[in-house]
Amino acid sequence: MPPLILEKTFNSHYPLLTIVLDGVGLSPYTEGNAVFHAQMPNLKSCLNTQDHISILAHGKAVGLASQEDMGNSEVGHNALGAGRIFDQGSSLVQNAIVSQKLFEGAISLPSTIDL
């Protein structure tokens, strides 16, 4: 999927509407695909007749370590809400180890340990 391109201007005589369908994934595979087989005449009509774009909400597109990493429902929410991609989950830990930032700072140990 190509990356989004930031347009400096948006000229339209029509209103722009952003709709995020949480939990709805679009896939070329039809076998076992509940979204493809669902009775959704309005959504299917919009997808066939209106300008639209689908976005990735998993993997590197939302700051995870690999494309195979699906994460949980929050990873897509975090990237969309922040309006940018930032490291999340194992990617955050991996990059902190590689950059050595994980090993910076003071260590504080408890003065006593209750057993």
- Give CA torsion, residues 87, 90, 94, 95, to 10 deg: 0
Is residue 73 among the annotated active site residues?
yes
Active-site position among 45, 73, 90, 99? 73
> In angstroms, rounded to a whole number, what is the distance separating the alpha carbons of residues 43 and 49?
10
In sequence order, what DSSP letters do the residues of 21-79 get, joined into one string? -TT----S--TT-HHHHS--HHHHHHHHHS-------SGGGGT-SSTT----HHHHHHH
Residue type for position 87: D
Catalytic positions: 73
